[in-house]
Amino acid sequence: MIDRLTAALARSRADYTEIRVERTWSTAVTFRGRRLESAAASEDQGGFVRALSPGGGWGVASFTSLDRLEAMVARAVELSRAVRVTPPIRLADVAPHRADAILDLDGDVRGVPIAEKKRLLEAYNGELLAVSDRVVDTVASYRDEVSEYWYINSDGTALHELRPEVTLSGTAVARRDGTIEKGLESIGLRRGWNSVQDKAAGFREAAERAVQLLDAPMVTGGAYPVILDPELAGVFIHEAFGHLSEADFVYENPQAREMMTLGRRFGRPALNVGDNGAAPGLRGTLPFDDEGTPTQNTPLIKDGILVGRLHSRETAATMGERATGNARAISFRHPPIVRMTNTYIANGRGSFEDLIRDVKLGVYACGAFGGQTLLENFSFTAAYGRMIRDGHLAELVKDVVLAGNLFQTLDRIDHIAGDFRWNQMGGGCGKGGQAPLPVTEGAPHVRIEEALVGGDVPAGSA
Amino acid sequence: MIERLLERASRRADGGADALWRQVERTSVAFEWGRLKAAGVSEEAGVNLRVRHRGRVGVAGTTAVDASPDDVLTRALASAELGEELALAFPAPASAPPVATFFQPVADASLDRLMAMGRSLLEQLEREGCRVNVTIEREIAETRVANSAGATGAYRSTAIGVSAELWRIAGDDVLAIGDVFEAADLPGDDALGALVQSVNLRLEHALRVVAPPDGALPVVFTPAGLSALLLPVTQALSGKAVLQGISPLAARVGELVFDSRFSLTDDPLRVGRAASRPLDDECVPSGTTCLVQRGVVERFIYDLETAARARTQSTGHGQRTIFGKPVPGYTNIVLGEGGREKGEGGDALGGGLLRDVRDGLLVDELIGVGQGNVIGGAFSHPVALAYRVERGAISGRVKDAAIAGNAYDLWKRVGGFGADARWTGARYTPSVLLDGVSVARR
């Protein structure tokens, strides 16, 4: 394949040309309650060409029929020439790489019959249902894929990779009279079949949580000291801060650039944040990004000060910085854009107990049902919470929604514990119509000295 | 292609089969932060096959269409071995109503024409201290569906999407205002003018930031801002939710549940809309479905599978992609009378509804819509773009505010419908005034 791509690339009349080809085998199984909703295998293949002519813009072509490869290279060049851009687009230098990387498939999912995948998920779904007869509904899903990936560009980079991925998720819905609560388990790994065995305990816990929440009161809305568990802290840093550190947001927008000036204080000295696409064994990890740039650990906030951002080759050249290996595309259907990989709040010091010891009345917010950031405002729904009273964990509470302003909230992070962990969840990140992109988040327990917690939503009925 | 595939499938699957083949060609131009940056094309073709064998249903999809058709058939049969038993009947041939889905001017529009359209928008929107992104995407598609009962359908379609987004960052205040034109036919100068006008109007009122009000207040939702109020209702009207036992409307057919002026229709036969089509992706002819009429719940939407499980008929809402199995999905959702175009006050924000508001909000965009237990009707969202309304007029933009309520309660009593009905994606609605929405300061 690399030879074929090299021949097609040699015919390009552009200054810069890159070609990506992907072939993906995937299987998806879903249970809803005791019912198998679907079990199906798919095959997806296609290619992507991007070209840059002198003084031209990006010419982009994607296609599912590989017979069209040569024609689409010519089309991308033609489109690039049709777009005049001043000043011209430049790309940051990246040394050429040639690599043939077979990532650890850890039990190649392509060799496992679909019936066996169904049996595995049926067992986990069964764990959800067995917890209590209060569990009235479940949604459980299994998805795997192996993607064969080829990439070449006119700077001399040529890559071939075999990339695995497997995700498992389960939602338990518990009900008593009019009250409905949910518990969620989610696992996402850049690995294979062996890594999703023996996961029953997490599914059981999710269902138990849903049942316990039936008796939990709604959190009383108000401003509290809030401790985020590592999962919610990870989601928070990805959503609320990570997206602003993506350089395509700032590189050609002077006002945004000013807002995100390196050297600006974003938090207290305890706060250290980064993005590490090279961290071993995570879902957001790959040896190279989709422009052939090696991935790396990029510090973003150091001792509370903004020190870095995430780049593609184009954004890096415009800002006079180095490419960071963050140009990613979810598939051959899309161009690479600046994305996160594995985003983290680095370890602080001390234990969870140290964080709550001097809290008279506070909220411990755990897990994430969802979150959205719009500009500088965010809203996150925790999976559940516990009240903190006089330095100790107290009752379970539900409907814990955190909302606030990013800058204020980062600045109010006053304690970071030393119990860092990566959250190996499924799902993924969405941006510019590209979702879900596999990413990972990691954090220790984090304390916000004051945050607004919403809870009371008026009751109503149809 | 699908004829051959169905022929082979009928030989190996004893309960028949159906298939969808779709080819899509897209052309796009992107202006990023005020500059034309990229032009792109994409060509995609794929097939989705469903079989019924020994009473069980299975699906498979592929974009590797040039591969042997036996691969996708073998995978569909393997999927059916695990599938549930289902009395799924593939519909017999029936004539589909005529609806124009293909517009030659869209297919003929050159790259230069698309770029000129974008450039003109950019020129009209640019101003000091702001940056503008414009994206134009044109789509030409061909769809073929067929089943082993002899039903077939084929149609070509066009679509165009023009989106403009204006960003203004002043210190730590980030403001983004956007709008989208989406249709099956090219926008005229009036439609593009309306897009510019829509962004300008909302920007003009947003420059001044004022304190939000507090309490149970009247709130006017713009057509874009209505998402949080309509999402629970459309979710609850899906036959899938009814089957799953999670729809609060499940047992309410024939009952007055909403304000008597609240009507909701799904209309796949609207001329000029990108979601319109003569038949659905399962060979069921298109027809208008009245979901709620004058406050009374009329019916739910079904595809073949959910209809078989609910022992009813498909309403022609089968939607399928290349991958996965068909699911029930809406086409064009129309709120209210549907036919009403702009009336008095229709050019103003709120469509003339603000004059009755002494103190309240005008909500255009919320954060987190779709999160949480949507179908239950309860919602709680910070505002992304909202304005304070005082003594019948907008006094400024509010930033740190959140609104909460229950959609079903609020829809019981509508304060008024605006004279500004328009399409927002595949939804046609006016602005709506709802009373007693809980507004909180942050």
* Averaged pLDDT for residues B286-304: 97
- pLDDT value of position B341: 59
| Cβ pairs bridging A and B (under 8 Å) | 243
Residue of A40, A82, A255 lying closest to B58 (CB–CB): A40
Q: What is the CATH number assigned to the segment(s) A2-213?
A: 3.30.2290.10
* Averaged pLDDT for residues B50-64: 94
- pLDDT value of position A458: 38
- pLDDT value of position A431: 86
As a whole number of angstroms, the distance between CA A315 and CA A295 comes to 16
Q: Is the pLDDT of residue B373 over 80?
A: no
Q: What are the pLDDT digits (tens) for B88-106?
A: 999 999 999 999 999 999 9
Q: What are the pLDDT digits (tens) for B316-325?
A: 999 999 998 9
Does A25 reach chain B within 8 Å, measured CB to CB?
no
How would residue B340 be classed by pLDDT, with cut points 50, 70 and 90? low
Does B384 reach chain A within 8 Å, measured CB to CB?
yes
- pLDDT value of position A459: 36
A32 contacts on B by Cβ (under 8 Å): 244
- What's CA B15's distance to the chain center, in Å? 34
Residue of B41, B67, B368 lying closest to A75 (CB–CB): B41
- Choice between A374 and A48, residue whose per-residue pLDDT is larger: A48
How would residue B342 be classed by pLDDT, with cut points 50, 70 and 90? low
- pLDDT value of position B344: 72
Kindly give, in sequence order, each residue whose CB lies less than 8 Å from that of residue B200, ignoring residues fewer than 6 positions away: B125
For chain B, percent of residues with pLDDT exceeding 70: 98
Q: Is the pLDDT of residue B394 over 90?
A: yes
Q: Is the pLDDT of residue A461 over 50?
A: no
Chain A nearest CA to B257, separation (Å): 7
**Least reliable range by pLDDT among A393-397, B200-204, B301-305, B402-406:** B402-406
- pLDDT value of position B327: 96
B122 contacts on A by Cβ (under 8 Å): none
Residue of B46, B71, B408 lying closest to A461 (CB–CB): B408
- pLDDT value of position B430: 95
Q: Is the pLDDT of residue B223 over 90?
A: yes
Does A46 reach chain B within 8 Å, measured CB to CB?
yes
- pLDDT value of position A454: 75
Does B131 reach chain A within 8 Å, measured CB to CB?
yes
How would residue B381 be classed by pLDDT, with cut points 50, 70 and 90? confident
Does A454 reach chain B within 8 Å, measured CB to CB?
yes
- pLDDT value of position B244: 87
Chain B nearest CA to A279, separation (Å): 30
Q: What is the CATH number assigned to the segment(s) B2-205?
A: 3.30.2290.10
Q: What are the pLDDT digits (tens) for A325-354?
A: 999 999 999 999 999 999 999 999 999 999
* Averaged pLDDT for residues B195-204: 95
DSSP B417: E
B115 contacts on A by Cβ (under 8 Å): 82-83
CA-nearest residue to A33 within chain B is B244
Q: Average pLDDT, whole number, for chain A?
A: 93
- Mutation choice for A interface testing from B23, B31, B42, B259 by most A CBs within 10 A: B42
Query: Exposed, middle or buried by CB within 10 Å (0-12, 13-18, 19+), for A42?
Result: buried
B246 contacts on A by Cβ (under 8 Å): 137
Chain A nearest CA to B96, separation (Å): 29
- pLDDT value of position A370: 77
- pLDDT value of position B199: 96
Chain B nearest CA to A192, separation (Å): 21
CA-nearest residue to A25 within chain B is B62
As a whole number of angstroms, the distance between CA A282 and CA A215 comes to 36
Chain B nearest CA to A81, separation (Å): 10
Residue of A58, A370, A459 lying closest to B38 (CB–CB): A58
B376 contacts on A by Cβ (under 8 Å): 180
CB contact under 8 A, B377 and A462: yes
Q: What are the pLDDT digits (tens) for A170-224?
A: 999 998 887 888 999 999 999 999 999 999 999 999 999 999 999 999 898 889 9
CA-nearest residue to B365 within chain A is A374
Does A265 reach chain B within 8 Å, measured CB to CB?
no
Q: Is the pLDDT of residue B84 over 90?
A: no
How would residue A374 be classed by pLDDT, with cut points 50, 70 and 90? confident
- Mutation choice for A interface testing from B21, B25, B43 by most A CBs within 10 A: B43
Chain B residues 107-126 with a CB less than 8 Å from chain A = 111-112, 115
- pLDDT value of position A304: 97
Kindly report the three-state secondary structure assignment for every residue of chain A: CHHHHHHHHHCCCCCEEEEEEEEEEEEEEEEECCEEEEEEEEEEEEEEEEEECCCECEEEEEECCHHHHHHHHHHHHHHHHHCECCCCCCCCCCCCCEEEEECCCCCCHHHCCHHHHHHHHHHHHHHHHHCCCCEEEEEEEEEEEEEEEEEEECCCCEEEEEEEEEEEEEEEEEEECCEEEEEEEEEEECCCHHHHCCCHHHHHHHHHHHHHHCCCCECCCEEEEEEECHHHHHHHHHHHHHHHHEHHHCCCCHHHHHHCCCCCECCCCCCCEEEECCCCCCCCCCCECCCCCECCEEEEEECCEECCCECCHHHHHHHCCCCCCCEECCCCCCCCEECCCEEEECCCCCCHHHHHCCCCEEEEEECCCEEEEECCEEEEECCEEEEEECCEEEEEEECCEEEEEHHHHHHCEEEECCCCEEECCCCCEEECCEEEECCEEEECCEEEEEEEEECCCCCCCC
- pLDDT value of position B339: 47
- pLDDT value of position B126: 92
Q: pTM to 2 decimals?
A: 0.91
CB contact under 8 A, B42 and A458: no
How would residue B343 be classed by pLDDT, with cut points 50, 70 and 90? confident
Indicate the Cα dihedral angle A450, A452, A455, A458, nearest 10°. 150
CB contact under 8 A, B131 and A255: yes
Select from A196, A26, A30 the least CA-distant residue to A122: A30
- pLDDT value of position B67: 67
Residue range(s) of every CATH 3.30.2290.10 domain in chain A? 2-213
Residue of A39, A42, A180 lying closest to B373 (CB–CB): A180
Chain A nearest CA to B316, separation (Å): 20
CB contact under 8 A, B79 and A40: yes
Chain B nearest CA to A224, separation (Å): 13
* Averaged pLDDT for residues A251-269: 92
- pLDDT value of position A335: 96
Give the residue extent of every domain in chain B.
2-205, 208-442
Q: Is the pLDDT of residue B146 over 80?
A: yes
**Least reliable range by pLDDT among B46-60, B310-324, B344-358, B365-379:** B365-379
How would residue A373 be classed by pLDDT, with cut points 50, 70 and 90? confident
CB contact under 8 A, B33 and A253: yes
